[in-house]
A and B are shown apart, each in its own frame.
Chain A
Amino acid sequence: MRGLFAGKTVPVLIVLLAIVLFWYVMAVVMNAPWQETLNGRANLTDVPLLEFAQQTWAQDKPVLPAPHQVAGGIWTGLFGSAITAPRSLAYHAGITLGATMLGFALGTLLGIGLAVMIVHNDASDRSLMPWIIASQTIPILAIAPMVVVGLGAVGVTGIVPKALISMYLSFFPVVVGMVKGLRTPEAIQLDLMRTYNASAWQVFAKLRWPTSVPFLFASMKVGIAISLIGAVVGELSNSAGGGLGVRLLTGSYNGQTIQIWAALFIAAGLAAMLVILVGWGEKLANRRMGVRA
């Protein structure tokens, strides 16, 4: 028993269980007023508590859908219709995933490029760094609709505007992490490279780059999560293009709460999957570079 509680799995499961229980209780509390109105119309009085609770968990458009309703929504969304049908959540998740990946790839490349410039050139360090930090205090997600509409007006539509927003969000953690990582080599190691008569390129490829890889993966984990957020918000302004953001928006217009929650959980699952994938990449890279796990 003791051994079980020492690890992480059991505490996490217990906390999750507590959250689900709390959720069911909240579903009863929040859906109760509407259910009472319904029962009043049907002339149902003195409904036993358990039956009343079950009624609140089975409403059509609940204020807070119960977990099993959300799970049902996810199930029918993913497997209820053909994967290419616009009703299928898998189809919309695919659209969002495409924009996320493109934006993430562009953002990572841009981030690495800027970091290399900053580390190797004093002037670009001083001129770029303050603006890169300032760029993130701008609520870019707020500009998302304008980027999408503006680019749409000149004929750039589809995946690119969303990917640009994702790129803007995800380059920042990569720049900050990589600048730190590329500067990690100590003076004594740089001096050793100098005694070898290494060129600037060799110092970069054989010393700076390998030391920065752990920082790169840590930043990429943050970057991929926020690039998904960027893609979802970018979709809010282009309801014709599809994607999880569009499902959120149409759900909120029609009061389809189950649809909103299902889209939300799929986005969450997607984010978790992407972060785990980057983690696997990190393990793989570590093993190939001979880092002891």
Chain B
Amino acid sequence: MKRQLTGLQRALAAFAGGFALLALIFEFASTEGAPLPVWEFPLAGTFLVLGVLAIGRIWFQLPLFIDGALSVLGAVALLLALDTLQMAGPGYWFALVSTWMFAWLFVEQLAASIRAGRTSPTLGMLIPVVFGLSLLLIWEIIVRAASVPMVLLPPPSMIWTRILTSLPTLTADFLQTFKAVLAGFALGCGSGFIVAILVDRSPFLKRGLLPIGNFVSALPIIGIAPIMVMWFGFDWPSKAAVVVAMTFFPMLVNTVAGLNASSSIERDLMRTYAASYWETLLKLRLPAAAPFIFNALKINSTLALIGAIVAEFFGTPIVGMGFRISTEVGKLNIDLVWAEIAVAAVAGSAFYGVIALIERAVTFWHPSVRGGRT
């Protein structure tokens, strides 16, 4: 049975092969004004010839992993070529576009084949990975081959070496900032939760506080950072205070909304069991509120990191991620700044991921968790 390609896939295949052909025709690169033809780079040459041959899919069928392998080959060839060439010619850029097209074609076919049930869904994990790697590759190659000024954007490889060489600084900064994040997150979310349960008993307070809480969570609370630094000093407590203020209201609003999530028929059932207020709260209303509470925790996990780092712009002891970012920007040590950002990104994603994992374990009954793909 011949597998039919969709219009988009055919277009991608044609472009991928076409750009490989163009790359073979045009000047590939040059060094000190002397042109460097493509056969000086055997790997790149192999990739381009194979890429052109892949146009043959019009007559015979190609397994989709051939496209994946081709894009990997292209990526490796282009990266290796970077070491020897000085000026990238039009051929080099055509080869980059061709590599990118092959990666896209691979992903496109993989998605279609998973949807049709020909490939196991676990391979779907590859798709975001391929996308991320392509972004990194394009970033690295464009920055290095077009000699983008380092101030604007350093290549990922340089950021990576910087992370490895300045591990002690990064660790010290991370610990200082994360102290404030954790303390503020625990205090802010905890107090928001407790106030929500107290407010919940009084309909009057609920009507009075909720609109204000909703309003305040839309405000630029981050602006209180300078005030908190004045009140609590330069060290981490002032940052924790900013985090408390930022995380309190989302938690309050979401928990109150969550406590109203159980339906009246379920509450009536609890009443027929003669359940006390606390039993109803613990066994019915809090579990029903869990999705809302976790939503607030997830929002707060990013807010907490932002709050702590930005608060450090307003004054810190000489350690901390926000401090490092703002001072090294001034010294134009952009690679160290990007290293801090990478650490912050990994920490932020891990923080979010841990909360998401706990959520899956706690709210296993919720349709969004049971439904398979999230």
Question: Is B79 at the interface (CB under 8 A from chain A)?
Answer: no
Range for the number of chain B residues in contact with chain A: 35 or more
For the complex, give the distance between the alpha carbons of A261 and B230 in Å. 13
Question: Is A228 at the interface (CB under 8 A from chain B)?
Answer: yes
- Whether the Cβ atoms of B226 and A139 lie closer than 8 Å is no
- Whether the Cβ atoms of B131 and A131 lie closer than 8 Å is yes
- Whether the Cβ atoms of A123 and B111 lie closer than 8 Å is yes
Besides A127-B131, A131-B128, A248-B226, 6 other A-B contacts (C-beta < 8 A): A122-B111, A125-B111, A126-B107, A126-B124, A127-B130, A154-B151
CB-contact partner of B220 in A15, A131, A271, under 8 A: A271
Smallest Cβ distance from A59 to chain B, in angstroms?
Answer: 14
For the complex, give the distance between the alpha carbons of A63 and B229 in Å. 11
Q: Can you sample 18 A-B contacts with CB below 8 Å?
A: A11-B204, A11-B208, A15-B205, A126-B124, A128-B131, A131-B132, A137-B345, A138-B348, A142-B322, A146-B337, A150-B152, A232-B222, A252-B226, A252-B227, A252-B230, A252-B314, A255-B230, A257-B230
A251 cross-chain contacts in B, Cβ below 8 A: 226
Closest to A133 in B: B352
- Whether the Cβ atoms of B128 and A14 lie closer than 8 Å is no
Residues of A within 8 A of B (CB): 5, 7-8, 11-12, 14-16, 30, 63, 121-123, 125-131, 134, 136-143, 145-146, 149-151, 153-154, 221-222, 225, 228-229, 232-233, 236-237, 244, 248-249, 251-252, 255, 257, 260-261, 263-264, 267-268, 271-272, 275
Choose, from B17-25, B157-165, B210-218, the stretch at the interface: B210-218
Question: Is B55 at the interface (CB under 8 A from chain A)?
Answer: no
Q: A123-B107, A126-B111, A131-B132 are in contact. Are A142 and B341 (CB under 8 A)?
A: yes
Q: A137-B301, A142-B310, A150-B151 are in contact. Are A268 and B219 (CB under 8 A)?
A: yes
Question: Is B97 at the interface (CB under 8 A from chain A)?
Answer: no
Complex A-B, nearest 10 residue pairs according to Cβ-Cβ distance, in ascending order: A11-B208, A252-B226, A127-B131, A15-B208, A137-B348, A142-B309, A123-B111, A225-B218, A126-B127, A138-B345
A137 cross-chain contacts in B, Cβ below 8 A: 301-302, 345, 348-349, 351-352
Closest to B211 in A: A12
For the complex, give the distance between the alpha carbons of A267 and B202 in Å. 32
Smallest Cβ distance from B65 to chain A, in angstroms?
Answer: 15
Question: Is B168 at the interface (CB under 8 A from chain A)?
Answer: no
0/1 string, B103-139, CB within 8 A of A gives 1: 0100110111001000000001001101110010000
Smallest Cβ distance from A170 to chain B, in angstroms?
Answer: 13
- Whether the Cβ atoms of B220 and A268 lie closer than 8 Å is yes
Question: Is B33 at the interface (CB under 8 A from chain A)?
Answer: no
Smallest Cβ distance from A100 to chain B, in angstroms?
Answer: 10
- Whether the Cβ atoms of A15 and B127 lie closer than 8 Å is no
For the complex, give the distance between the alpha carbons of A229 and B151 in Å. 25
CB-contact partner of B128 in A126, A138, A149, A229, under 8 A: A126
- Whether the Cβ atoms of B306 and A142 lie closer than 8 Å is yes
- Whether the Cβ atoms of A145 and B222 lie closer than 8 Å is no
Closest to A228 in B: B220
Question: Is B223 at the interface (CB under 8 A from chain A)?
Answer: yes
- Whether the Cβ atoms of B334 and A145 lie closer than 8 Å is no
A126 cross-chain contacts in B, Cβ below 8 A: 107, 111, 124, 127-128
- Whether the Cβ atoms of A252 and B149 lie closer than 8 Å is no
Smallest Cβ distance from B139 to chain A, in angstroms?
Answer: 13
- Whether the Cβ atoms of B226 and A260 lie closer than 8 Å is yes
- Whether the Cβ atoms of B302 and A263 lie closer than 8 Å is no
B345 cross-chain contacts in A, Cβ below 8 A: 134, 137-139
For the complex, give the distance between the alpha carbons of A272 and B151 in Å. 37
Q: A122-B115, A257-B227 are in contact. Are A138 and B341 (CB under 8 A)?
A: yes
Question: Is B344 at the interface (CB under 8 A from chain A)?
Answer: yes
Interface-centre pick from A12, A137, A275 (highest chain B CB count, 10 A): A137
- Whether the Cβ atoms of B349 and A134 lie closer than 8 Å is yes
Q: A142-B344, A271-B218 are in contact. Are A127 and B208 (CB under 8 A)?
A: no
Smallest Cβ distance from A9 to chain B, in angstroms?
Answer: 9
B152 cross-chain contacts in A, Cβ below 8 A: 150-151, 153-154
For the complex, give the distance between the alpha carbons of A15 and B215 in Å. 13
Smallest Cβ distance from B314 to chain A, in angstroms?
Answer: 6
A5 cross-chain contacts in B, Cβ below 8 A: 204
For the complex, give the distance between the alpha carbons of A122 and B119 in Å. 15
- Whether the Cβ atoms of B151 and A145 lie closer than 8 Å is no
For the complex, give the distance between the alpha carbons of A7 and B302 in Å. 35
For the complex, give the distance between the alpha carbons of A138 and B212 in Å. 29
Closest to A169 in B: B306
- Whether the Cβ atoms of A145 and B326 lie closer than 8 Å is yes
For the complex, give the distance between the alpha carbons of A47 and B124 in Å. 75
B8 cross-chain contacts in A, Cβ below 8 A: 121
CB-contact partner of B207 in A12, A130, A138, under 8 A: A12
B127 cross-chain contacts in A, Cβ below 8 A: 123, 126-127
For the complex, give the distance between the alpha carbons of A232 and B223 in Å. 8
